[in-house]
Amino acid sequence: MVELAKFNHTKQKPLLLLNLNNEKCHWEAEFNALNWHCIHSSNITETIKFIEEYDIKIAIAMISSAYQQCVFKTLSKLFEVKKNIVWIAISCDNQFAQYPLSHQFPDYFFDYHHLPINWDKLGHTLGHAYGMLPLRVESSGQQSKQHENDEILGKSTAIKRLKSDLVKIARADGAVLISGETGTGKGLCARTIHRDSYRKNGPFIKINCGALPSTLLHSELFGHEKGAFTGADKLYIGHIERANKGTLFLDEIGDLSLDSQVHLLQFLEDHVIERLGANHSITIDCRIIFASHVNLEAAVEEGRFREDLYHRLNILRIHIPSLRERREDIELLANAYLQLYKPASRAFTFAPRTLESMLRYEWPGNVRELKNRIQRAVVMADSSAIHEADMGMKVVKYQQSKIKLAQQRMEIDTEVLLDAINRHNHNISAAARELNISRTTFYRLVKKCKIKL
């Protein structure tokens, strides 16, 4: 380990040099001339120690084609230690353009240089980076406030694992498949991946595949030229094209028609689209995140989903646990949403029995249902204590040995469907939108629960 040298804080600023590939870097005199005190590090353990001991704000990472994966992996871990360090890259082999992961550089580095070093230019970069630090901290604080309502809440083991997986997936750029029940937060996870990816400054485009008729879906995804079909009186830019340089989120991918699945598979292979009625193709640079609450494996077996498309999607896969699988988070979530939805002039708390009921309840609508019931409760409550009736919540009581799990779920699903139907005066489209499911799925559940409309 390099011995920690003493330096004059009033004259010099600490600069970390991360050198994982052990290049010969005897540049202390050059950095001293620029009023920087260079601290060498060759592994993550001593780097973390130096970051804490020297309060590092500016750092340089030596990188090469052979070591780029190692450098990116190390930086990802260091971002968790201290997020606001400004990193500058120095290429050891001068082959930045040929690096397979060069597209990720803007997400990691403020600027880059190569050997032999032009010390005047590097000195200017270091000074510019140091001058930008106050703005960087301010911007980070504003982003934290902006996204505080979009955070994934929970302290359970399942949620900690989910958050860790999302960080890893955000750093990659491949297609992502998010699975989970309705209301678990698939959309929130998709936005989190986009927000933490190098595409964060690009558009985030969402389309619910189950909410559009199959006759319109192809046009919505790929766009159409003026005159492509009857009623196409102007050029329409599809969702895929709008997502260029950003992220496209396709929700309810399991509801795509087989014909649309073919076109989507082709796009995933070559990232080229052709608008309906066009005679030329367009290359699109976007990341695609898919989500589905249906069992895609079963859909493949039943012939409703293409097997080749399923295997193309099922690479970076993440599953979101249901709320009943992380009951230890329910009280935390409930109190957070209560603070979010309550009027500023009123104070509310949950009655002890209400908290007990929430822990016993099955939550078929998951986190979305919890949020909706708390929104209802702050309106309906007659006192500062929120009771089960205020939330419109009915906990099904049963004997474990006599009633099967499927029967329990049937009763709960029936209650949720009937509540949605009644709230929207039998408007099925509106009820389906509230539950964030397609009309097809809604009717299938109605039939399953033997509800007469």
What CA–CA distance (Å, rounded) separates 262 from 259? 5
* Residue 237 shares a structural domain with residue 161: yes
Question: Are residues 299 and 254 in contact, defined by beta-carbon separation less than 8 angstroms?
Answer: yes
What CA–CA distance (Å, rounded) separates 66 from 303? 44
Look at residue 147 and tell me if it is in a domain: no
Q: What is the DSSP pairing of strand 86-91 with strand 111-114?
A: parallel
E strand segments, 347-421: 349-350, 385-386
pLDDT at 3: 41
Cα–Cα nearest to 327, from 368, 291, 356: 356
E strand segments, 19-85: 36-41, 58-63
Residues 6 or more apart whose Cβ sits within 8 Å of residue 323 = 183, 184, 329, 330, 333, 363, 366, 367, 370
Backbone angles phi, psi at 89, to 5 degrees: -100, 145
Look at residue 306 and tell me if it is in a domain: yes
* Residue 188 shares a structural domain with residue 271: yes
| Burial category of 196 from C-beta neighbours within 10 Å (exposed 0-12, middle 13-18, buried 19 and up) | middle
Final residue before a domain boundary, out of 84, 108, 141: 141
* Residue 232 shares a structural domain with residue 174: yes
Final residue before a domain boundary, out of 141, 166, 188: 141
* Residue 162 shares a structural domain with residue 287: yes
Look at residue 3 and tell me if it is in a domain: no
Look at residue 151 and tell me if it is in a domain: no
Angle between helices 352-360 and 330-341 in degrees, nearest 10: 120
* Residue 161 shares a structural domain with residue 197: yes
Look at residue 6 and tell me if it is in a domain: no
Look at residue 8 and tell me if it is in a domain: no
* Residue 213 shares a structural domain with residue 352: no
Q: How many domains does the chain have?
A: 4
Work out the end-to-end distance of the chain between its first and last CA atoms, rounded to an integer number of angstroms: 74
* Residue 195 shares a structural domain with residue 224: yes
| SS3 category, 244 | coil
Cα–Cα nearest to 284, from 332, 232, 223: 223
Phi-psi region of 149 (alpha: psi -120 to 50; beta: other; left: phi over 0): alpha
Angle between helices 186-195 and 157-171 in degrees, nearest 10: 40
Residues 6 or more apart whose Cβ sits within 8 Å of residue 311 = none
* Residue 128 shares a structural domain with residue 39: yes
* Residue 113 shares a structural domain with residue 40: yes
Taking CA 260 as the corner, what is the angle to CA 254 and CA 265, rounded to the nearest 5 degrees?
85
Q: Which two tokens stand for residue 343?
A: 């009027």
CATH number of the CATH domain containing 51: 3.40.50.2300
CATH number of the CATH domain containing 243: 3.40.50.300
CATH number of the CATH domain containing 427: 1.10.10
pLDDT at 398: 41
Q: Provide block-wise average pLDDT over 10 residues at a time, the chain (453 residues).
A: 49 88 82 91 89 89 84 83 86 72 72 90 90 64 47 92 95 93 94 92 88 79 88 88 92 88 90 90 93 90 90 93 95 93 88 93 93 93 92 62 57 81 84 80 83 79
* Residue 403 shares a structural domain with residue 384: no
| Predicted confidence (pLDDT) per residue in 123-154, tens digit | 999 988 888 777 665 445 444 444 444 589 99
CA distances to 135, 188, 284, 307, 450 from 195, rounded to whole Å, are 19, 10, 20, 30, 42
Kindly report whether the peptide bond that precedes residue 14 is cis, defined as omega within 30 degrees of 0.
no
Q: Structural domain of residue 437, as residue ranges? A: 398-449
Provide DSSP, 93-115: SS-GGG-TTGGGHHHH-SEEEES
What CA–CA distance (Å, rounded) separates 397 from 275? 55
CATH number of the CATH domain containing 373: 1.10.8.60
List alpha helices for 67-200, DSSP H: 68-81, 105-108, 119-147, 157-171, 186-195
Q: Which two tokens stand for residue 339?
A: 């603070």
pLDDT at 400: 45
Question: Are residues 189 and 212 in contact, defined by beta-carbon separation less than 8 angstroms?
Answer: no
Look at residue 171 and tell me if it is in a domain: yes
* Residue 77 shares a structural domain with residue 99: yes
* Residue 338 shares a structural domain with residue 420: no
Taking CA 29 as the corner, what is the angle to CA 27 and CA 32, rounded to the nearest 5 degrees?
110
Q: What is the DSSP pairing of strand 282-283 with strand 272-273?
A: antiparallel
Look at residue 1 and tell me if it is in a domain: no
Final residue before a domain boundary, out of 319, 350, 382: 319
